[in-house]
A and B are shown apart, each in its own frame.
Chain A
Amino acid sequence: MASDSDRRKSGGEHLVIRRFFTLCAVGVLVWLLLRIVEISPSATPAESTFMLGFALLSAALLGEIVEHLRLPRITGYMLAGILFGPFVANLLSARVLEPLSALNDMAFAFIGLAAGAELKLAILKGRWRSIVLLIICTATVVMIGVGGFFFVTAQWLGFLGDLTTLQILAVAGMVGVIAAARSPSSAIAIIAETKADGPFSETILGVSVAMDTVVIGLFAVATAVAGLAFAPEQGFDLVFVFEVTGEIAVSIALGALLGAIMGLYLKRKGPQVPLVIVGLCFLVYRFSEIMGRYLEETHHLGVGLEPLLICAAAGFTIQNLSHQGPRLIGAMDRVALPVFVVFFTMTGARLDLGALATSWAIALAIAGFRIAMIVLGTRLATSLAGDPKPFRRHCWLGFVTQAGLSLALISQFESQFPDWGTSLATVLVAVVAINQLIGPVAFKMALEMVGEARRGSSPWKGRS
C-alpha cells in the first residue's frame, strides 16, 4: 500500500506533468497564432498586452514546475523570461516589452516598499551589530578582492590596453563597488515565497537594502576618483559626492513622508488598498524619473531620486512608526505574486544572454571570485559578531544575487566611458546574469538550511 509521502510525491509529479503540458499548449497556441496571423506594427500595445498575459501564465506555470524541483519560483519566472525572451523564442522581444516598461517600473518600486515593510525595528535592534559588521566586512572584502582580481586580470582584457595603470586601478575600484551591490528585490521575493521569518532572513534583507544605499554612495566616490585618474586637470569632483549624498538623504526623507501619509490612509479599510499601493508605487517611480530628468535639464545635475530607497523608507516607516504594518503587508500579499511574476519574467527577458555568450569565461571567473570574497567577508563579519554556527556557515548564500542596481550602475559606467565602457559593460552584465540565476537558488537553500523557511506553507501554494 502506498504511503502518504508516496501519494504526495505522485500527486506532485502529476501536477508537474499537467502544468508542463498546459505550458506547452499555451506556448504552441501563441506561437501558431503569431505564425498564422500577421500583427500590424500599429497594434504593438495590444501585442504587448497579450504577450503580458502569455508571460504571466507561462511564468506562473514554470514557477510551479521548478518549485517541485525545490528551486525558488522566481527562478522559474526568470527562466520563462529567458525562454520566451529576445535570445531564445523572441516572443517577448524588446519591441513588445517597451510598452510594458511602466509595469516593470511599478513592480520595482513595489518590491522596495515590500522590502522596507519587512524590516522590523524590534528584530533589527537585536541584530544591529551583525548587520553593521556584515555591511562593512562584505563591502570592504568584496570591493578590494574583486577590484584587485580585476586589476590583475585586466591585462587579458584587450579593450583596456590603452589605459594607464592608474586608470585601470580607478576602473577596478568601480568594478569592485558594482560587485558589492546586492538584490533586495530577489531577497524579498524569496522571503515572501518561503514565508521565512527570523533573524537570518531579517539580517539578509536588512543588509541587502542598506548595502544598496552604501553602494550608491561608494559608486559616487569611485566615479569621482575615476574622474581624477582620467582627467586630472579637473580635480576631485567633491560636489558630485555631495550631490549623491543629498540624493540619498532626500530619497529617505521623501520615503518617510510618504510612509507617514500612507500610514494615515491605511487606517481606512477598503478593497481598493492593494490597487492604491500599486498605483502609488508607479507614481513614485515616475516622479523619481521625472525629477532626475528635470534636475539634469535645468540644473545639469547628474543625480535623481532613488525610487527603491523612497519606497523602502516608506515601507519601513509604516511598519515601525505606525500601527499599519500588518495591514500594509496583508494588502501587498494580495497583489505580490502577479507583481513578482511580471518583474522577474521581464528581468529574465532582459538578461543579456548575448553578453554571457561572448564573455562567459571571464564573467564566470569574476562571478566565482566575487562569491569567494562574499564567503570571506561574511565569515569575518559573523565571527566578529559572534553569530551562531549555522548563521556563519550559510550567511554568504544570501548575498550572491545581483540585479537592478548593478545594471543601473553598469549603464552609468558605460555612458561615462563610451570608448571601452561598452565592452566592459558586456562582461559585467554577464557577471550579473550569472549571479541573478544562481543567487535566488542559493538564498532559498540557505533559508531551508537555517530552518527559517516554512516548508509547504508558501502563501502562493495551492490549497484545498
Chain B
Amino acid sequence: MTHQVCVLGAGAGFAGDRVDPAVVLARAGVDAVVLECLAERTLVPAIRARRDNPQAGYDPRLVRRLTPLLPVAREKGCRIVSNLGAANPVAAAERIARLARELGLPGLKVAAVVGDDVSDRAAQVRWVREPGAPLLGAHAYLGCHRLADALAQGADVVVTGRVADSALFSAVARDRLVPGEDALAGAIGVGHLLECGGQLTGGNYEPIAGAGLPPPLSAEQYASLGYPLARVMADGSAEIGLPPGAPGIVDALTCSLQLLYEVHDPSYYATPDLVVDFSGVRFETLGENRVRMSGVRSKGPPPTLKVAGFVDRPGFIMDCEIALAGAGARERAEVMAQALRLRLGDWADGDIAVDLVGAGSVLRAGSQPMQGPAPEMRVHVSARCSDGEQAQIIEDEVYAMTLSGPAGGCSVRSEKRPRIEVLDGFIEHQQVPTQLHWSQS
C-alpha cells in the first residue's frame, strides 16, 4: 500500500472566488493551499493594467485574499501556490512580501515564476487561425517544474502568471512521488479535479432525485461550503475530502462530473507536462465525503505548449434591459420586444438579439414551457456595436420605451462589454524558458 506524501487544498477556483475557504483549509493543516485565480480572459484586464502602470497587472484582489490567509499559513507552515500574478508575477511577489511585512510576518520567501509571456515570440506561435488584428498579448501555459523548483528552494509562496491550473497542484507533489510518469499524471489529475474549488464539493451540482443520493445542500451549507482537499499518495493516487466539519458533498458522482469538466477526449487530456488519460480512473467511496481516486495514466509529454492569444476587436457588445410588471406583463413585454426590433432594424440579424428574460432567454428553443402568467418580465437587448456611439443608441432606444413604448417600462439596466477574442496557438517547449524571481519580507 502506497503512503501519503502531501495534503493539498483548493482555496479558490477563480479570481473572484470566496476568500474564507482557503483560511479554513490552512487551519485544517494542509501542506499547501492553491489559489486558482486566473481564467483565460482574466489576463486581459491585467495586461491592460500593466501597460498603464509597470507595477500593476496582478490580481487586484491580492491584498483582500491574502491578508487573512498569510498569518494562518505562517502559523501552520502551509505553503501558498497561486497564479494571481496574472500579467505581472514579479510585482505580485513584491506586493506579497510588502503585505507580509505590514502583517508582521518577517522572513517570508516569495518566488515569482516568470516566462509565460510570449508576446515577443508571437510570430513563432502556430495559431489555429490568423489573428487578423494586433494581439493584445500572448501567454504560454507553463507546467509544474519551475514552481516545484521554487518550493524545493524554500519558497513559502509561489506566484505565477499563466500556468496550467493543474500544475499549481502537481508542483507541490512532484518531488514526493515515486519515479515515473504515471505518478505525476496522477498528481496532475488531482490538480484537475481540485482546480475549481467548490465545484468539486457540491457547488454547481444537483443530485439525481430518487437515486438514494444525499439531498441537495441547504442555503446555509452553500453559504459556508467547504472547499476540497486531497491526500496525495506516492503513486499519484489520492483521497479526496473536506476540511473537518465543513459542509459539502464529495462522492463518486461529484468527483466524476468534475473529472470530466472541460475535458474533451477523456483518454487524451493535454497539459504542459504530460498528456494524461482519464479513461481508466476509478472513484471508490471510503466513507462519508471521502473518495479514493486512482487510475490516471500518462501518455507521455505533449509535443508543444498551448498559447492563449488575445485579439482586440474594435467596438463593444451592449447589454441592456428593461422590466415590465403587473397584470399583462408578458403581453406588454412581447409587444415591446417587437417594437425594439423595429426601432433597431439597422442591426443585422446576427448582430442583435432581443430576448424575454424569464421566458427562455437562456436556453431559448430548449427552454421549459412557461406555466401561467408572469408577474414581471424583462426585455433584453444584446447587440454588437462598432463604436461607443452605436452602443449609446442601443441604450437610448431601450430607455425611450419608458416614454414611447407599452405602459410601465421600468428598472432599466445596461452594461457595455469590450469585444476580446481568445485565440489558441502552439509553441515549442524550448521557445519558452522560465526563471524564478525572489522577494522576501
The judgment on whether A and B are partners is no
